[in-house]
Chain A
């Protein structure tokens, strides 16, 4: 028999336990202001298209950030990369169609002269290049003339540091990126046993140049020759540097500078030219999940066949937990581009309760909700916009949708969409990665477009190289994961089971280069990109101190400092974090920053 006294005590304890668990849940639900976008205020900025800083001649004079490019600015290839890179790094760019048109001013020599070989006449302009080198102008061959041209010109071979042209076209087995060039360290892009063959997407047939002494190789091919006793140093070089005259000559054997990957390569080359290199970066790491969650029960038959449950349950119980796990493990913040429905002609309508449910989860995870601009081809865009507008206004009237996924909207459609009521607050548009498109650009005076870097379900070698390159140059990365692939699978390979395995393994393994960058939502990243584009800076070295002055400073600015055997010991006006050996991320909190430097290898006994 339980006494009354004991019975009372037990009941009391049970009640205490009950309330202990319930109160937090009730509080979380009660005070979850899911219908307010907390990033609206946090990321508010006046910076717009007019604020973008474009370097002028005065910058070249004051800071020495001056590049001459021999080529065509708007060729959609190398020219576009050079233009973007100069914009992001605040370098003044002069473009000439031919070497002969450029007359160097000895009082204002460029940091480097970049050459698109298709605009370079080896026979007539070689001597001029030699003069530039003697003057101390470093050269970057963004691509190389044909191997037979190089082989037939000893001056060019000497300039490039080519010992022998071993072969005009050699079949290689992979590529090795050396340590210290891009962030992320040494990489081996060679298929090993058990690795998906589709991952090898580098062009492995290339001219074989054996570089001579006085060169340093940053990227080289790998081939069977290694087994035949040929030294590593004789393997086909891809990116290298040669000390020639009073300057350095960089050469790129391939088309690596013809897409956005080239931005990081160019910046890494500049870092190699100097004692140290400091340049502005975004410091943002996005995970954008587009067309997710889908709030209507669509593609019912397929879902039941593959998951034995409807789409909304798949999204809620299968996909969402997987996404959260990866995001948390990699310190990422999600931006969910909600798709109320993808099929606007069937009878299935989005569920308002489901939206509320997801909005609460999004709020709890400090994620952000955005809108998806993609739609199926059989749908009328106007109908979609009307339908989505009405749905959002009914459920989350006060929530400011700041981000939009462009999807398959054309420029005109995007303009139309942005003028609709539901998307009137949008200022960040996320796009799929396109090799020749700018990574950051203003769509109109106030809307900034950010390109993703990668699709979370694939990670080829070239994508990995791009990720490292962009992370090195911009401190930026963005995964764009399409929920539509889950909702409308095109085969066994597109079930979430398979997709999540790839997504998790690729992200957890290969995105560690971005570990030290801040996880951001699209709205946060938008604010950082605006600041990044708007700022200008100057820096000078005073003994052990690097003094950095930032103009157009707005709350914060981020920089990467790359050194050669030096480390930061103290910073004023900024925080700093070591990214890897000789690379630091600097977060400026004031417009004037001083960094105290010290040699890494200190003498212990003297």
Chain B
């Protein structure tokens, strides 16, 4: 079977597993209760309840240290059936009695097994028939919706899915860290590296444990699942907010298929990362808040249900990634502006605040319990708290960065610490605010060094500073937008960003004036949120404290701007067609706009295509790893490679760090001793070493004797495998393998080879292990490496 087919099958498996817990099961429970709601709202509800249930179940069992396949499955089924009975139409006690009575009859022989099975079969058949009938009805009544959703899915699969089968490896260097944390959840050691929002990890762990999909496979393919869901949630939210049926698709289509958005706005979608997963919960939390505030009777069951959903969504933004909480929080502030006339009433304010507090409490509780039990905060969480508490002075950020980089597995290149530190340090230098770490005068040094040279600037009075910031804001926003959001020359779309920020409040006022209060409040909320979001986006450039670096903020900004565009278009259409008693002119207008926008985008050459986003592992390495997993018994093999396979194979076999391997035979040659006690040892060697996040002058060159002759890189951490160091390590490893193969031609063989990668396998007798330390011609230099400098 080809790896492409295998990957697609694994993706389908992951998608199905995820939908079971976040769509089918919640739908079975909740449908009877919320069937009057629109499908888009029901979809958001299912997502929220399913994810919330799984996250908290995993948290609970992990903290009790009893989490495994059996307990997770049993708890899921028991709680599901309990909820099913409680939420069902029948009286719960009577339902249990009926079930007991049925089994009594079955055991007593009064009810035959065949008859019993027939009843079950008929029940299932009826349910399936009803489901398909409803499904058919749905297709008939929402034909264009189904058609457009299918088209959108196809576009998504084309734009993102092709990369799934084109590059098998992890897209980001911090995925091994998340992998590591999930691996330890298997051992019931949640928060192994300190307290961190583990919501995303809980979901992956649940899918891995209950459905048996290996973690490394999930992290390889789950990004496409979450990307599809993120887009679906965006669509659901827009559709729920809009008055026309199809205006939402315009924004979605532009977001998915158009190429004017910068690469940073969607690049991270190609990786299974918590921040992106957490985006699923931002918009539902806002919609449920809207829904609550729009309810006249605040004490009704429906109101409370909306409030509960808001609390669950908001809690999950905290439980998954704090950046999502920031965005959700800003949007809530926007809602406070838009719905001020309702929110600050006695009946609503207290409830909303209580829901917010409960949601924070629920999300923080597992972390609080762990903290109380003595688990320290994880590094990036510490940084986040410092930002919130205002302790994020420049020195501390810098120290944090250097501390993290010391740990090979805990380095997160694209996570919070790296770029924020640079931005924070050079807050007064807008031109280079978000450049890569290490490019400034003082970057790359440790915290102490920076402390010695830093002189705080003299502060002006507050009003003066405020005025200066306000003046800077439009320019800073334009600059940030040109850098990240719409980097190329697309003036129309750049103006559209500004236009929507300005137009939405005007439209909101118009609708307020027309007494379309709810709709107007939504527009106003969105407008206020966009204004806040703009400030966040360009904060560092405007001289404000940078809560989120622009390179991250642009992801959220692009996400919400398309939502705003859709709303704006919907509002404009409503101005023209919304006054008719019948809604079909409005829907028709919005429907006609969809092909118009599509054709315009296509004819303007703005289609995105399927970007080739390279992975940090070769396809051959993943192929090889997959084969090794299937060929061997667990823990009967060791992989000697650079870094990533350590976490990928942690549940199934052993890993030997390539650098350690080479280092141990440096200067000792055949007099050293390296033994690896497994029957098979695999050596992963990149013949053309990849650029692991850090390119260098001769990137893409093959391993060579010249590379092997260079001193083995000194230092520690992931830097061993970056830039030129990776080339040196791989060159040396290659010539070691060649020498060893000459000594053991029958025992050491090529397992898998492509143009840019080779995997050797060594088979050995467990009672007489090979000493892998040999003189391979490059490890016996006289001068200790590094001292001649």
Which residues from chain A sit less than 8 Å from chain B, CB to CB?
A: 163, 176, 178-180, 186, 212-217, 220, 231-233, 243, 272, 275, 564-565, 601, 603-606
Contact = CB atoms under 8 A, between A and B. Distances in A.
A212 B670 contact: yes
A233 B670 contact: no
Contact of A605 (B627, B675, B763): B627
Interface string B625-658: 0110011000000000000000000000000000
A565 B2 CA distance: 23
B169 to A, nearest CB: 15
Contact of B627 (A233, A564, A604): A604
A605 B630 contact: yes
11 contacts: A179-B765, A213-B672, A213-B770, A213-B771, A232-B767, A565-B746, A601-B631, A601-B761, A604-B627, A605-B6, A605-B623
Contacts of B626: 604-605
Contact of A217 (B670, B745, B768): B768
A275 B746 CA distance: 7
Contacts of A176: 767
A180 B765 contact: yes
A272 B747 CA distance: 9
Could you say which of A180, A216, A565, A605 has the most chain B C-beta atoms within 10 Å of its C-beta? A605
Could you say which of A220, A565, A606 has the most chain B C-beta atoms within 10 Å of its C-beta? A606
A564 B746 contact: yes
Interface in B22-63: none
Given A232-B769, A233-B675, A606-B3, A216 B763 contact: no
B770 A604 contact: no
B114 interface: no
A176 to B, nearest CB: 6
B203 interface: no
Nearest to B674: A213
Contacts of A606: 2-3, 623
A133 to B, nearest CB: 13
Given A178-B767, A214-B670, A605-B630, 5 more contacts: A176-B767, A212-B670, A216-B768, A217-B768, A601-B631
Contact of B631 (A212, A243, A604): A604
Nearest to A178: B765
Given A213-B672, A243-B742, A243-B744, A604 B768 contact: no
A468 to B, nearest CB: 16
B498 interface: no
Which 7 A-B residue pairings sit nearest by Cβ, starting from the closest? A243-B743, A213-B771, A564-B746, A217-B768, A213-B670, A178-B765, A214-B743
B751 interface: yes
A449 to B, nearest CB: 37
Contacts of A186: 765, 767
A212 B771 CA distance: 7
A163 B763 CA distance: 23
B84 interface: no
Interface string B657-692: 000000000000011110100000000000000000
A217 B774 CA distance: 16
A232 B770 CA distance: 11
B772 interface: yes
Nearest to B625: A605
A213 B742 contact: no
A116 B622 CA distance: 51
A455 to B, nearest CB: 30
Contact of A216 (B3, B631, B744, B752): B744
Interface in B722-744: 742-744
A231 B749 CA distance: 26
B773 interface: yes
Nearest to A599: B749
Could you say which of A178, A213, A216, A564 has the most chain B C-beta atoms within 10 Å of its C-beta? A213
B768 A233 contact: yes
Contacts of B671: 163, 212-213
Contacts of B603: none
Given A243-B742, A603-B752, A220 B768 contact: yes
B1 interface: yes
B768 A178 contact: yes
A174 to B, nearest CB: 12
A601 to B, nearest CB: 6
Contacts of A178: 765, 767-768
Interface string B483-519: 0000000000000000000000000000000000000
B769 A213 contact: no
Nearest to A582: B746
A272 B673 CA distance: 24
Interface in B595-633: 623, 626-627, 630-631
Contacts of A603: 623, 627, 752
A497 B623 CA distance: 61
Could you say which of A163, A176, A212, A601 has the most chain B C-beta atoms within 10 Å of its C-beta? A601
Contacts of A180: 765
Contacts of B747: 216, 564
A444 B546 CA distance: 103
Nearest to B620: A606
B183 to A, nearest CB: 22
A601 B679 CA distance: 14
A366 B305 CA distance: 88
A217 B766 CA distance: 11
Contacts of B772: 213
Contact of B763 (A213, A215, A272, A565): A565
A264 to B, nearest CB: 18
Contacts of A217: 765, 768
Nearest to A213: B771
B765 A213 contact: no
B774 A604 contact: no
Contacts of A231: 675, 769
Given A601-B761, A606-B623, A233 B771 contact: yes
A605 B744 contact: no
A604 B749 contact: no
Nearest to A242: B743
Given A178-B767, A601-B631, A214 B774 contact: yes
Given A214-B670, A231-B675, A243-B743, A605 B1 contact: yes
B736 to A, nearest CB: 12
A217 B2 CA distance: 39
A350 B445 CA distance: 106
A604 B1 contact: yes
A219 B772 CA distance: 19
Given A179-B765, A243-B743, A605-B6, A216 B770 contact: yes
Contacts of B765: 178-180, 186, 217
A345 to B, nearest CB: 58
Nearest to A235: B768
A231 B767 CA distance: 9
Contacts of B630: 604-605
B496 to A, nearest CB: 46
B165 to A, nearest CB: 13
A109 to B, nearest CB: 17
A217 B772 CA distance: 14
Contacts of B631: 601, 604
A220 B769 CA distance: 12
A213 B673 contact: yes
Contacts of A605: 1-3, 6, 623, 626-627, 630
A63 to B, nearest CB: 20
A216 B769 CA distance: 8
A213 B736 CA distance: 13
A603 B2 CA distance: 10
B773 A213 contact: yes
Interface in B334-371: none
Nearest to B761: A601
Contacts of A565: 746, 749, 763
Contacts of B770: 213, 216
Contact of A213 (B746, B751, B767, B774): B774
B378 to A, nearest CB: 35
